[in-house]
Amino acid sequence: MDKKQIITRLKELRREDPSFMDGKIISSVSTEPLDIALEAFRIFSDTNALDTYIFPSIQKIEKDIIKWFGILLNNPQISGYITTGGTEANMAALYAAKKIYPKRKELVVPESAHYSIQRAADLMNLRVRWTTLDENFKADIDSIKSEINKDTLAVIATAGTSSLGIVDPIEEINDLCEDIFFHVDAAFGGFVLPFLGRRKIDFTLVNLDSLTIDPHKMGLAPIPAGSILFKDNSYLGRLRISPPYLPVRTYTLSGTRSGGSIAATWATLMYFDFDGYKKIVEECMENTKFLCNELKNIPHADLVTDPELNIVGIKIPNAEKVAEELQKMNWKIAVNRDMGCIRVAVMPHVTREVISRFIEELGETLKKFCG
Ligand SMILES: Cc1ncc(COP(=O)(O)O)c(C=O)c1O
C-alpha cells in the first residue's frame, strides 16, 4: 500500500466508530485528548521509558508527573510510575504488597471492586475474601472488620467504583489497616475528589500505602495512561530489577513502555494544572446535578443512588431492551445487567446539550416500552 492508501483506509475504519465530540458517547470514562497531548506523544513516540540509558529525558518527565501527584496528594515523599491503566496499577500495588508480606495469602475486598483485583489475586495465587456493601453501595465496614485476620495481605477500597462512582469509607477503612497493606483504587475518583475537597483520599491517611489514579480517565490524558503511586520510595525499591541485557534498573511490571504516553500525560497535566482540573471537575459535577434533576421529570426512570462523583446509575424497567432501542439511535450506552440500570459517565464531552438530548430520547423510549 502507498502512504495515501494507508491513511485513506485508516480514516475509513476510524469513521466506522463514533468520536467523543459527536455527543452520543455516554458510557466511556475516557474523553477526547488535547491536541497538545497528541503533539507531545508524537515528539516522544520513538522513546522507550524502560531504557533510561538511551532516553533519560523521559525519566525526568515521569519524575515531574509523580512530583505533581505528590502536591495533589499531600506527600513530598511520593513515588510511582505511569502504567498502561488502572489494571496494571492495581497489579503493581498488590505485587508490592506481596513483596512486603510474602507469607500472607489473603485480600479483603468489597464486592464493588474492579475486576482487575480478582485478576491480580489469581496471578499471585491469593485468596479474595469478598465483603458486602451497605444500602448506599459503599463497602460495609463491619464486613471488612470481620474478614481481616492474620493472613490478610491487603485491604482494597475504591474511590469511584466502576458501576456507580461510589466512594468507599476510606478513612474508616484506613483505621483498620495498621499492619496491613492498604490500597485505594482511585482510578476514576483520583482526578475528581481532590478537586472537590469533600473527601480525603491522600497520603495524610496514615496507613495508606498506595493509590491507583488514571490520567486516561478524569485526568483527560490520551490512552494509555494509568498511575501507581506509593507512600515513599521504599515500595519501588521492592519492585526493582536489573535486566542483564540493559544498563538500567527498572521497577515497573511492564518492560518496554511508551515514552509518548508519558509525555502526553505530562502535557495534559501541565496544560490544565490544579486550577484547570478544578474547573473541569466542577463543571462535570454541575452537569451531573443537571442530569439528576432532569431525570425527575421522566416517568419510570430513577436514580440507583445519589451520585457522589460524575457517574450516574439510572434504574429503568427492561434496561437491556431500552438500551438496545437507544443504541439504534446511535447512543453508546452501558447497561449494568445485575442492577438493571444504565450507567452514564458525565465526562467533559457529556455537555448539557448532550444530556438534554439523551433525556428527551430516553423519555420517548420509556414511553414506548412502559406507556
Ligand atoms: C475503579 C477502576 N479501577 C480500575 C479500572 C481499570 O482501569 P483500566 O481499564 O485503565 O485498566 C477501572 C476501569 O474502568 C475502574 O473503574
Average pLDDT over residues 315-330: 94
Rounded to whole angstroms, the Cα distance separating 280 from 272 reads 9
Residue-wise pLDDT for 262-305, tens only, equals 999 999 999 999 999 999 999 999 999 999 999 999 999 999 99
Dihedrals φ, ψ of 108, to 5°?
Answer: -110, 120
| Cα 345 → chain centroid | 12
Q: Whole-prediction pTM value?
A: 0.98
Domain 3-31+273-370 class, CATH top level: alpha beta
pLDDT surpasses 90 at 370: no
Domain 35-272 class, CATH top level: alpha beta
Rounded to whole angstroms, the Cα distance separating 153 from 106 reads 5
Going from the Cα of 162 to the center of ligand 1, the distance in angstroms, rounded, reads 7
Binding site membership of 85 for ligand 1 (Cβ less than 6 Å): yes
Binding site membership of 162 for ligand 1 (Cβ less than 6 Å): yes
Binding site membership of 199 for ligand 1 (Cβ less than 6 Å): no
Which residues fall within 8 angstroms of residue 251, CB to CB, at 6 or more apart? 81, 236, 237, 239, 240, 241
pLDDT surpasses 80 at 339: yes
pLDDT classification of 369: cutoffs 50, 70, 90: confident
DSSP 56-67: HHHHHHHHHHHH
- Closest approach atom of ligand 1 to CA 85: 10
Which residues fall within 8 angstroms of residue 291, CB to CB, at 6 or more apart? 312, 344, 346, 355, 359
- Closest approach atom of ligand 1 to CA 226: 10
Going from the Cα of 149 to the center of ligand 1, the distance in angstroms, rounded, reads 28
- Amino acid identity of 64? D
pLDDT classification of 371: cutoffs 50, 70, 90: confident
Going from the Cα of 158 to the center of ligand 1, the distance in angstroms, rounded, reads 10
Q: What is the pLDDT at residue 50?
A: 98
pLDDT classification of 199: cutoffs 50, 70, 90: confident
pLDDT surpasses 90 at 198: no
User: What is the residue-averaged pLDDT of the chain?
Assistant: 97
Average pLDDT over residues 295-316: 96
Residue-wise pLDDT for 126-154, tens only, equals 999 999 999 999 999 999 999 999 999 99
pLDDT classification of 201: cutoffs 50, 70, 90: very high
Residue-wise pLDDT for 93-130, tens only, equals 999 999 999 999 999 999 999 999 999 999 999 999 99
Beta carbons of 117 and 273 less than 8 angstroms apart: no
Give the ranges where 141-258 is alpha helix by DSSP (H). 141-147, 170-175, 193-196, 233-238
Domains of the chain, residue spans: 3-31+273-370, 35-272
Q: Which long-range contacts (CB under 8 A, 24 or more apart) does 268-274 make?
A: 268/33, 268/34, 268/36, 268/37, 268/215, 268/219, 268/220, 268/221, 268/222, 269/65, 269/68, 269/215, 269/219, 269/221, 271/34, 271/36, 271/37, 272/220, 274/71, 274/72, 274/195
Binding site membership of 218 for ligand 1 (Cβ less than 6 Å): no
Containing H/E element for 81? strand 79-83
Rounded to whole angstroms, the Cα distance separating 50 from 246 reads 9
Containing H/E element for 121? helix 115-123
User: What cell does 74 get?
Assistant: 499531600
- Closest approach atom of ligand 1 to CA 214: 10
Going from the Cα of 324 to the center of ligand 1, the distance in angstroms, rounded, reads 25
High-pLDDT (> 70) share of the chain, %? 100
Average pLDDT over residues 328-341: 93
Q: What is the pLDDT at residue 359?
A: 98
Residue-wise pLDDT for 4-19, tens only, equals 999 999 999 999 999 9
- Closest approach atom of ligand 1 to CA 186: 1
Residue from 28, 163, 184, 188 to probe ligand 1 pocket by mutation (most atoms less than 8 Å from CB): 188
Going from the Cα of 187 to the center of ligand 1, the distance in angstroms, rounded, reads 6
Beta carbons of 27 and 332 less than 8 angstroms apart: yes
Nearest CA to ligand 1 atom 4: 86
Residue-wise pLDDT for 160-187, tens only, equals 999 999 999 999 999 999 999 999 999 9
Residue from 31, 94, 114 to probe ligand 1 pocket by mutation (most atoms less than 8 Å from CB): 114
pLDDT surpasses 90 at 338: no
Q: What is the pLDDT at residue 209?
A: 98
Going from the Cα of 3 to the center of ligand 1, the distance in angstroms, rounded, reads 36
Q: Strand 181-185 and strand 152-158: pairing?
A: parallel
Binding site membership of 187 for ligand 1 (Cβ less than 6 Å): yes
- Closest approach atom of ligand 1 to CA 87: 11
Residue-wise pLDDT for 59-101, tens only, equals 999 999 999 999 999 999 999 999 999 999 999 999 999 999 9
Residue-wise pLDDT for 202-247, tens only, equals 999 999 999 999 999 999 999 999 999 999 999 999 999 999 999 9
Rounded to whole angstroms, the Cα distance separating 304 from 236 reads 40
Going from the Cα of 346 to the center of ligand 1, the distance in angstroms, rounded, reads 16
**Same fold yes or no, 3-31+273-370 and 35-272:** no
